[in-house]
Every structure is written in structure tokens, then in C-alpha cells.
Structure 1
Amino acid sequence: MKITFFDDSNAINKNAIGSGVYKFVLKKGENQRILYIGKSYSMISRCANHIYELEKDNSYFGLTPKNWVNKELEIIVDIYEQVDTSQLSSSDRDILLYEKELEAIKIEKPLAQSETSDRLRRDRVKCVQDYLNSLNYL
């Protein structure tokens, strides 16, 4: 599996160092779907941690070991929305980021997440695998 991490023309997108809402996108060929949406005061740091957890346990975002070695699949980690929180207290920052995250989840309906909260779905492996299996029929 290829991992594209905050790519900005073959360099790291420096905006990812800051706060905002990020997304993990699962791509196969021309088809792509958001797997997960999160928020952080340092997107790049939080997403690096997610990649580490994903490598240790592929089911973290609904993947399997077979997916992890599949060269046709790509995970794209990118900014969903950059949020300027520089003038906010840490509690106001956290509230704003949480609201932005929930708004994005409701709009995008990520495969591995509940549609109404930031929690991962219990059946995320089934949901992600059903989606990948459906691509074989397109």
C-alpha cells in the first residue's frame, strides 16, 4: 500500500504542522473514499501517530493485512480544513476543532467512522472491505 502523507508537489505541506481537520482517504485506481476524519492542533503529528497505529493494527481504520500489502491501494493523508486557532485558548481551540470535525464527518460519512460522532465504527472492517469488494464490479 502506498501512503501519501500531506503531499504538496513532492514536499510536505507545511500547513499540516498547524491545527485543523484532516482526512485519511482510501484510493484504488480512480476511486477514492474518505476512511477517517480527525482534528488536531498539530495535524502532522497526530497523523504520523495514526500511521504508526495503522501499521501495528491494520484494522485500526478497517483494513486487513492483505490490504496493507496491496500495491493497488493508496492511503492519502491530507488537510480537510485548516483552522486558525492561534488567538484561542486551548479549551476554545478544542471546542472549535471538535465542531469542525463533526461537521466534516456528517458531510463526508467516512467508511470507518460513525456518521454522527468521531468514534470509529465497530464494524469498520466489514464496511471498508464491502466498499473495496464493490470496486471489483465497477
Structure 2
Amino acid sequence: MLKNIPAILSPELLKTLCEMGHSDRIIIADGNFPAESMGKNCKVIRADGHGVPELLDAILTLFPLDTYVEKPVNLMQVMPGDTAKTPIWDEYKAIVAKHDERGNNAIGQIERFEFYEQAKTAYAIIATGEKAVYANIMLQKGVV
């Protein structure tokens, strides 16, 4: 046990966050995301039973966002014509604002298939049990 480390962060996830360098990216994926097929060349960390907002908040207590890029946080854009609602994004905005002074200005969107391509080059993918749709979020690490 360690003090001041959010309990939701497993030893494997803590190790991965520590190993990551500046500009490395990590995906916190919803339950529908093809984590295993996208993560063939990176680490896939299982966090079944956990939601994305809880993990995002815990990770951002330790993880600096990149200040050298305009949008170090990226969401998977809703497909044109899709009527899915994304209320979870409001939670993400509040969490990012809690941990980064840029707040909503640090958050961008990436077209769905481009998000998949970028996920293939991520350092790690966290596969969660999140049930919300379009709940995938990509974080780019900064410096401490």
C-alpha cells in the first residue's frame, strides 16, 4: 500500500504511467472499444468493472498533460448521422478542468477511424467496463 495514490490505480497501471515518457499517449477505452485488436503493439491493461470518469480523475492526479500541444486530451468524435448523445463528455470536461488550468481548451476531438489509427500507436490502452458510447479518451503525457 502507498499513501495518496488513488486505490483504483492498479500496480500495473501505476507502473505503466511511470514508464511513459513525454508525448506518449494512453487511451482510456469504453467497454465497446476493440482494445485487444487495437493494442496488439502496446500494453493493454484491463480495468473491467470501472468507469472511464473514475479512472480519468485518478490518472490525472498523477499524470501531467502535455503543454507543448494544443489538445493533449482527445475524444472520439461522433460519426456523422449518429444520434448518440455524449453526456459523459461533460464529466470529462469537469475532470480535466480540475487537473489542468486549460480546462475545456485542452480537449479536442478526433474522427472515429483516425482515433483507431492513433490508438494503434499508443503506449497503452486501458480497457474499462464503461457502458457510455463514444466514451473513449486519449491523453498525451507532458513533463513533470
> Is the TM-score greater than 0.5?
no
Higher CA-based Rg: 1
When normalised by structure 2's length, the TM-score is 0.28
More strand by share: 1
Q: Which has the higher contact order (CA 8 A, sep 6+)?
A: 2
